């Protein structure tokens, strides 16, 4: 069993170890982060099924309706989305795909947390004791859930294989980024179970659905995949939005920048950051655009990444991952600024500075 974001070699809990928590007679809600993505949803659903299979009463939940990508995949599989539970105050919960308070469901301060499953670094959420934590780096949280099925010796039915594949496809961009051996093992096994005729076609349609945002306001688009962080006494968020093709990336970034500027005065955060990734796989132009809002935010972004276009945005020729690149780099920079008791250098010439260019 792994420690909470510990450094032990990966070993996943057995059925007996998963049962060491005092679950009592309460139902356990397995839930992902606010603004759920496909990995958060699929991981929660597959984990809840596993717990029920070993005799622990659990349900999967989301904090909000699922996004268009998840909705599309679930419709293909003929699976209903999980129950929406907007506040978990007083509930018994297992958190998946996150372990930071700022990203947790409302009411988490008074919930009883009996488990964590996360593939991101840097969690700080408080849990009860004893609890089960599975916190290892991987491309998708669902790959860790798959390993739990293996360690607990629980058979994987077709619908659970489909859910975990949905999660892995989404978070690794069809096995093209941040892929670990755990992800490869999970993918290779699950694809033999899932009865999906054309996995690449499925992913392509998921990607188009994710970038469609049909029927959503611009504010809803910005908040559809949005995570909050705190580092160096600075509270900030990173919105992660998608578009299909370079022209749409540029239009979407312009639209989201307007929303950021309108929300900033009342949002209670010090800095707002935006990533817009190009989901068109064969487009060799702009792969990512970024924007920033808040005192010193643009300067910090440029000091960390460069890419300033001389006007207001930041351009990159490859897709940037919030999980592995943008969030860790910003957190590290802000923590260093906090320790040094410095502010962001606002005199930097952002038209020429190129301290780090991820291209």
pLDDT score for 339: 63
**Half-sphere exposure (Cβ direction) of 11: Cα atoms closer than 13 Å:** 6
3-state secondary structure 317-358: CCCCCHHHHHHHHHHHHHHHHHHHCCCCCCCCCCCCCCCCCC
- Between CA 31 and CA 25 the distance in angstroms is 19
The residue with tokens 């990966």 is 10
Place domain 218-340 in its CATH homologous superfamily.
DHHA2 domain (3.10.310.20)
User: What are the pLDDT digits (tens) for 87-129?
Assistant: 999 999 999 999 888 889 999 999 999 999 999 876 677 666 6
- CA–chain centroid gap for 338, Å, is 26
According to CATH, the topology of domain 15-206 is inorganic pyrophosphatase (n-terminal core) (3.90.1640)
Q: What are the residue boundaries of the structural domains of the chain, listed by start?
A: 15-206, 218-340
Mean pLDDT of the chain: 88
pLDDT score for 87: 98
Mean pLDDT on 181-192? 98
- Is the pLDDT reported for residue 251 higher than 60? yes
Mean pLDDT on 19-39? 91
User: What are the pLDDT digits (tens) for 203-241?
Assistant: 999 988 988 888 999 999 998 888 899 998 999 999 999
pLDDT score for 282: 74
Mean pLDDT on 74-93? 97
């Amino acid at each position: 069993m792994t420690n909470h974001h510990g450094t032990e070699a990966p070993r996943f809990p057995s059925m007996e170890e998963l049962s060491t928590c005092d679950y009592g007679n309460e139902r356990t809600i397995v839930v992902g982060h606010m603004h759920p993505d496909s990995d958060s949803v699929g991981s929660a659903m597959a984990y809840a099924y596993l717990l029920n299979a070993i005799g622990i009463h659990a349900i999967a939940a989301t904090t909000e309706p699922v996004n268009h990508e998840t909705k599309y995949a679930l419709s293909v599989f003929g699976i209903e989305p999980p129950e929406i539970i907007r506040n978990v105050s007083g509930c018994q919960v297992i958190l998946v795909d996150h372990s930071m308070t700022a990203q947790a469901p409302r009411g988490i301060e008074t919930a009883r947390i009996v488990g964590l499953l996360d593939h991101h670094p840097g969690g700080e959420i408080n849990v009860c004791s004893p609890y089960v934590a599975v916190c290892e780096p991987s491309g998708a949280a669902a790959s860790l859930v798959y390993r739990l099925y293996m360690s607990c010796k629980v058979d994987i039915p077709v619908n659970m294989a489909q859910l975990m594949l949905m999660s892995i496809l989404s978070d690794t961009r069809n096995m093209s980024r941040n892929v670990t051996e755990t992800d490869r093992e999970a993918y290779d096994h699950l694809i033999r179970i899932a009865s999906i005729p054309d996995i690449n076609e499925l992913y392509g349609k998921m990607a188009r659905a994710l970038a469609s945002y049909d029927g959503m306001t611009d504010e809803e688009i910005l908040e559809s995949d949005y995570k909050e962080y705190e580092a160096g006494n600075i509270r900030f968020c990173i919105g992660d939005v998608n578009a299909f093709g370079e022209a749409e990336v540029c239009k979407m970034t312009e639209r989201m920048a307007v929303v950021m500027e309108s929300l900033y005065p009342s949002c209670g955060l010090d800095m707002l950051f935006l990533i817009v990734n190009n989901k068109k796989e064969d487009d060799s132009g702009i792969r990512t655009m970024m924007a920033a809002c808040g005192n010193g935010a643009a300067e910090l972004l440029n000091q960390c990444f460069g890419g300033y276009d001389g006007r207001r945005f930041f351009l990159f020729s490859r897709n940037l991952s919030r999980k592995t690149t943008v969030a860790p780099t910003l957190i590290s920079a802000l923590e260093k600024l906090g320790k040094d008791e410095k502010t962001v250098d606002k005199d930097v010439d952002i038209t020429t500075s190129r301290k780090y260019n991820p291209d």
